[in-house]
Amino acid sequence: MALKVDYVVKETGRNLVRNPLLSFATIVVVVVAVALVGGSLLVSQAVNKATERWQGGIEFIVYMNPDANQEQIDAVGRALDESPQVENYEFLDKDAAFAEYREIFEEDSPELVDAVTPDALPTSYRVKPVDPDPTTVDSLLAQFQQEAGVYRVVAATDAIRTIKKYSTFLSYGMAGVAIFLTAAALLFIGFTIQTAVFSRRREIEVMKLVGATNWFIRVPFMLEGVVQGVIGSVLGITGIYGLNSLFESRLQPDDAIGLLSNFGVSGGELFTTSLFLFIGAILITAIASAIAVSFYVNV
């Protein structure tokens, strides 16, 4: 017995509206699970981008004036070499500074990249002190801020340190809750299909007697779970886009040197994450539906 599209659509719709509360509960759980998984991924991406320049123990960055001469740049390098409180440092020339600037702004604000040339950006020293104690770092900041040719010295604040410390814990925690909710969604899908099969057991018996194939009977039930996954994932992804927009509207980076200038995710990263969540939700609900149908529909 061949499957017909109109039959599949009609029967899938009937199954969804036959158990509205279970269907609604399943969709809500999928929405929350998708939002939490997406949130944990985006938080991890945002923190990695925001703290990229502070990896490897970097506690402060000495930005030179764009027009600082080589003698002034070398003088700061010698002061860093001679300081017993400095463990090591990395020098970024204008090309490296421009590459970082382009990475920060190219996707979301390409006009800012087009308006700037490497010569307009400052060189910098990224410094790892021997002792990261705030008092020691503050004394180094005061010292190098007075050096000739220095534009600004930026330090990793307590907020950045806290973000770096707890971001992994937060991401894993959100992912753990999302896994729990995903399991709950799968159970709801199973219960929904079980209820639908039980309510239509007489129809299924008649269909079997007239020669209906396994797939003819099972497909509408399988699609019921998939539709719930699609609706839930779309709503969850919509929520992620809304929260990301709200976050960006609240975030006011001061400039390319500011600590929060790169805290956020680009449109491309958001789209990739959303696509991953959408496909994942469909695959998981399809597999769960197939297993539930095989278990409850014995044909």
Q: Of 176, 235, 197, 259, give the one whose Cα is nearest residue 35.
A: 235
- The 3-state DSSP class for residue 139 equals helix
pLDDT in tens, 172-200: 777 787 788 778 777 777 777 777 677 66
> What is the architecture of the domain spanning 59-155?
2-Layer Sandwich (3.30)
Q: Please give the Cα distance from 221 to 197 (Å, whole number).
A: 8
Q: Which part of the chain has CATH 3.30.70.3040?
A: 59-155
What are the tokens at 165?
């410390």
What are the tokens at 13?
């719709």
> b/e for 231-269, b at 16 or more Cβ within 10 A?
bbbbbbbebbeeebeeeeeeeeeeebbebebbbbbeeeb
What are the tokens at 101?
């600037």
List Cβ neighbours of 223 (8 Å cut-off, separation of 6 or more). Answer: 8, 12, 289
More confident site: 203 or 75: 75
Q: Please give the Cα distance from 217 to 163 (Å, whole number).
A: 52
Indicate the angle between helix axes 214-250 and 267-296, nearest 10 degrees. Answer: 150
Residue 254 — pLDDT band, cuts 50, 70, 90? Answer: very low
Sequence-separated contacts (24+) of 239-248 with Cβ below 8 Å: 239/31, 239/35, 240/34, 240/35, 240/38, 240/39, 240/42, 240/270, 240/273, 240/274, 240/277, 241/270, 241/274, 243/39, 244/42, 244/270
- Helix or strand (DSSP H, E) at 156: none
State the CB neighbour count (10 A cutoff) for residue 9: 12
Q: Where are the alpha helices (DSSP H) in 200-213?
A: 201-209
Phi, psi angles (nearest 5°) of residue 84: -70, -10
Order the strands of the 124-129 sheet from edge to edge. 86-92, 124-129, 60-64, 150-155
What are the tokens at 144?
């190098």
Indicate the angle between helix axes 214-250 and 5-18, nearest 10 degrees. Answer: 70
pLDDT in tens, 55-70: 666 778 899 988 888 9
- In the chain, the amino acid numbered 74 is D
pLDDT in tens, 199-240: 666 766 666 676 666 667 777 777 887 888 899 899 999 988
**What is the rounded average pLDDT for all residues in the chain?**
77
Residue 71 — pLDDT band, cuts 50, 70, 90? Answer: very high
Tokens 């994450």 correspond to: 273
Q: What is the pLDDT of residue 107?
A: 63
Q: What is the pLDDT of residue 185?
A: 75
Among 41-45, 58-62, 153-157, 202-206, the range with the most confident prediction by mean pLDDT is: 58-62
Q: What is the pLDDT of residue 84?
A: 92
